[in-house]
């Protein structure tokens, strides 16, 4: 069961919301309008996260193969374990 959230608006915000709901005819209720705003905000945040990830990965995705370095996973793990032991002392 979904938890409910109650929000009260007064003054100019209340009037603005009523204009969006009653005058535009796009929404049948204030709740529908608020849910739409939250969904849009959620979608914008998800798009922002994907854009950040694309930007972070772009250097590697466009790099020339000559820039890549071969790594040995076992050697990296061994080095990490040694560093962990050294820091634990």
The pTM of the full predicted model, rounded to 2 decimals, is 0.62
Residue extents of the structural domains in the chain = 8-60
List the helix and strand counts (H, then E) for the chain: 3, 0
> How many C-alpha atoms does 44 have within 13 Å on its Cβ side?
6
Note the pLDDT tens digit of each residue in 1-58.
668 889 999 999 999 999 999 888 889 999 999 999 999 999 999 999 999 999 999 9
Query: What was the pLDDT predicted at 57?
Result: 94
Q: Are 27 and 33 in contact (CB under 8 A)?
A: yes
Query: What was the pLDDT predicted at 69?
Result: 87
Cα separations in angstroms, 12 against 9, 41, 53, 58, 77: 8, 21, 38, 45, 60
| Cα–Cα distance for residue pair 82/70, rounded to 1 Å | 21
Inform me whether the pLDDT recorded for 80 exceeds 70. Answer: yes
């Amino acid at each position: 069961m979904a938890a409910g959230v109650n929000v009260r608006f007064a003054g100019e915000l209340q009037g603005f919301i009523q204009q969006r709901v009653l005058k535009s005819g796009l929404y049948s209720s204030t709740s529908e309008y608020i849910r739409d705003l939250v969904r849009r905000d959620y979608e914008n945040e998800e798009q922002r996260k994907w854009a950040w990830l694309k930007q972070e990965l772009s250097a590697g995705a466009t790099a020339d193969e000559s820039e890549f370095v071969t790594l040995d996973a076992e050697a990296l793990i061994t080095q990490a374990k040694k560093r962990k032991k050294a820091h634990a002392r």
